[in-house]
Amino acid sequence: MQIGIDQIGFYTPNKYVDMVDLAHARNEDPNKYLIGIGQSQMSVADQTQDAVSMGINATQSYLSQIDREQVGLLVFGTESGVDQSKSASLFVKSALNLPPEVRTFEVKEACFGMTAGVMIARDYVRLHPHHSAIVIGSDLARYGIATAGEVTQGAGSVSLLIKAQPRILTLNDGHSAFSQDINDFWRPNNSATALVDGKYSTQVYLDFFQRTFTDYQKLKNWQTSDFAALIYHLPFTKMGLKANRLAIANQDEATSSRLAANFTAGAQYGRVVGNIYTASLYLSLLSLLENGSLTDNALVGLFSYGSGAMGEFFSGRTVTDYQKMLNPMATQKLLNRRQKLTIPEYEQIFTTALSDPVDDLILVSDEAKGYWYFSGTKNHIRQYRQK
């Protein structure tokens, strides 16, 4: 029985910052951001968008196309949780009116959380093939104004429907995992912004990639040339590019050209959205599927990484006519609708969004009709509304 991805939903807030504007404001050469980091834009969430509302919006983009009664599991991967006890997934389940029998919970391991959810969902569907599972990754990457990590911020969510006989990507059996207790990135409970040792984190990321990719090839008895594409968790585009260069070193020209071209296709959306933590790998997958050049049954390798640290390499194969399940025009419309912020506007929005509003203050979103948003707290209980 084949199990894998049947639907992909994506959401990012309706505001962004241009990296050239940010570079000028920080007295930096724009090429440091555009080339050195590999980012062109980053989405910015205001006070009305959080991990929950973005997850609802990403999931509702395909909800009308599935059988809600078949959904048996909902897993929410995030490191931007809104409550220290209650799962973000329960807010989503309620907003989208999913069956009360759905098993639901939240997963955290930095940017690895959504992949953990995917693996849980795959195993769940294997045992319950008449059910489907929704896996959401949703995050706001925040390092602070004028910090070294500022250029690698972002906001967004990706939602996947995992089921038997999927129509986009089948997930292959087997994986290669590696974990280690290190401190390359963390966010204390009393901090709304993350702390990171950037150079160290990049070194660990590349080391974990080489370990898991090499072990996976041995496990499956596959060569680099067998892959149509390799995609990566992308906290910023240049980090994934460095990993891809390691993968294609000493390969023949055809393999190198193919993997380089498909890396570029997979990084296209991340380059303009920015870092979305748990969902970054799956935004890369969506970008590859909508912008790359893949045949049916193409072998796609996926490298997932979460600081702290956890790495995993796994793979999937494209399903015949998978393109019919995608809507690149809708993705582009979502990106194009965003309002460009001036740097002062961005700084004000960013600073305000670091704190929840006072209790009983009703927030009003400037999002388009139909999107969900965080409208404040009532008796200290979070409220979500649809525009």
Half-sphere CA count of 1, side-chain side, radius 13 A: 12
Active site residues: 79, 111, 233
pLDDT at 129 over 90: yes
Mean pLDDT of the chain: 96
Identify the band that residue 141 occupies on the pLDDT scale cut at 50, 70 and 90.
Answer: very high
SS (H, E, C) 359-386: CCCCCCCCCCCCCEEEEEEECCEEEEEE
CB 384 within 8 A of CB 362: no
pLDDT score of 6: 98
Which of 324, 359, 376 finishes a domain?
Answer: 324
Residue listed under structure tokens 């906290």: 235
DSSP β-bridge partners for residue 357:
none
Q: What is the CA radius of gyration of the chain?
A: 20
Which of 293, 324, 355 finishes a domain?
Answer: 324
Question: Residue 233's Cα: distance from chain center in Å?
Answer: 8
- Whether this prediction's pTM lies above 0.95 is answered by yes
- Pull the structure tokens for residue 201: 């984190």
Domain count, the chain: 2
- Pull the structure tokens for residue 214: 């090499």
Percent of the chain with pLDDT over 70: 100
Element (H, E) at 283: helix 280-291
Query: 334 and 305 in one domain?
Result: no
Which of 324, 348, 376 finishes a domain?
Answer: 324
Closest to 289 (Cα-Cα) out of 33, 49, 6? 6
Query: 158 and 195 in one domain?
Result: no
Give pLDDT tens digits for 195-254.
888 788 999 999 999 999 999 999 999 999 999 999 999 999 999 999 999 999 999 999
Query: 133 and 29 in one domain?
Result: yes
DSSP β-bridge partners for residue 303:
232, 313
pLDDT score of 195: 82
Give pLDDT tens digits for 327-359.
999 999 999 999 999 999 999 999 999 999 999
Give pLDDT tens digits for 60-110.
999 999 999 999 999 999 999 999 999 999 999 999 999 999 999 999 999
Query: 153 and 7 in one domain?
Result: yes
Which domain, by its residues, includes 52?
A: 3-168+326-386
Give pLDDT tens digits for 250-289.
999 999 999 999 999 999 999 999 999 999 999 999 999 9
For residue 264, the domain's CATH number is 3.40.47.10
